[in-house]
Amino acid sequence: MWSLRKVHGEAKRPCSTVVLLYHRIGMPRLSSLVTGQYVLPRFFRAQLDYLVYRGWNSTTLSAVVEQLAKAHHLDCNNFAVTFDDAYLGVYDHACPALADRGMTATVFVVVDRIGGVNEWDSAVGDVREPIMSEGQIKEIAELGFEIGSHSLTHPHLVALSDSDLRQEVSDSKKKLEDIIGKQVSAFSYPYGEYDRRVLDAVAEAGYEYAVVTKLGTVRNDTSPFEIPRVNIRWNTVGRLLMRKIRRAERTRRIRK
């Protein structure tokens, strides 16, 4: 009886495309203000394998946006992986795990902090975490990882003057393109904060799509400049991961 109900319940569930959001991959640092953002490398690998085991397919953010542009059909049970802030732990642990499985991801870089640390966090008391170097960013770009912009310095974009906003959004794109020698199409709003003015600045700078931090799944009517994500924390593993994806599906339905 239990299993019948379970099978029936699965069948009724919507078929989703989700974009996963990660920050730090590595051993949690207990002195961090955001300990929950650290995902152990073995948990990261387990999350990928669990999704595949449950019948999900890995895709890329750009492929999702391409489907959105056609406006008719989004593939079922697809997941794309994204990393905000371009931490060294992502290069060390997550990129090899993805490459081993024939998967890629989008890495959003704080361009003026390349090869440095997360100054925007450490300025307010968090631990210093190393950011990927220019060479490492180039290397993963050549391996097929998409490189997106996460601004120049990780400011609160909504609080900036028009000219500072333009600089953060536009200059970060140009600098990244010079580094990787490819067009940069993706933007991630620092702190997930944006308003109409920020949206316009991102579109005017020539980005084709942008991700937010609001929980949700990608639907046919999702704006390419407000793509929701599912934030993965240290313990979002196994059934908890699936439960969070189901919550993302419900969030969107309630909001409509």
Binding site for Zn ion (CB under 5 A): 84-85
Min dist CB 103 to Zn ion, Å, is 22
Burial label, 10 (beta-carbon count in 10 A; 0-12, 13-18, 19+): exposed
Instruction: Choose among 142, 130, 131: nearest CA to 108.
Output: 131
Identity of the residue, 84 or 129, whose beta carbon is nearer to Zn ion in the bound complex: 84
Min dist CB 90 to Zn ion, Å, is 12
CA dist 3 and 77 (Å) reads 21
Identity of the residue, 190 or 216, whose beta carbon is nearer to Zn ion in the bound complex: 190
Identity of the residue, 45 or 113, whose beta carbon is nearer to Zn ion in the bound complex: 113
Which position's Cβ is nearest Zn ion? 84
Instruction: Choose among 164, 221, 215: nearest CA to 192.
Output: 215
Identity of the residue, 51 or 212, whose beta carbon is nearer to Zn ion in the bound complex: 212
Min dist CB 155 to Zn ion, Å, is 11
User: What are phi and psi for residue 231, nearest 5 degrees?
Assistant: -75, 120
Identity of the residue, 85 or 249, whose beta carbon is nearer to Zn ion in the bound complex: 85
Residue 85 carries which DSSP code? S
Q: What is the chain's length?
A: 256
Identity of the residue, 85 or 129, whose beta carbon is nearer to Zn ion in the bound complex: 85
CA dist 251 and 183 (Å) reads 33
Q: Give the end-to-end CA distance of the chain in Å, rounded to a whole number.
A: 34
CA dist 246 and 232 (Å) reads 13
Min dist CB 75 to Zn ion, Å, is 28
Task: Output the CA–CA distances (angstroms, integers) from residue 77 to 57, 96, 133, 245, 253, in the order listed.
Answer: 6, 23, 34, 10, 17
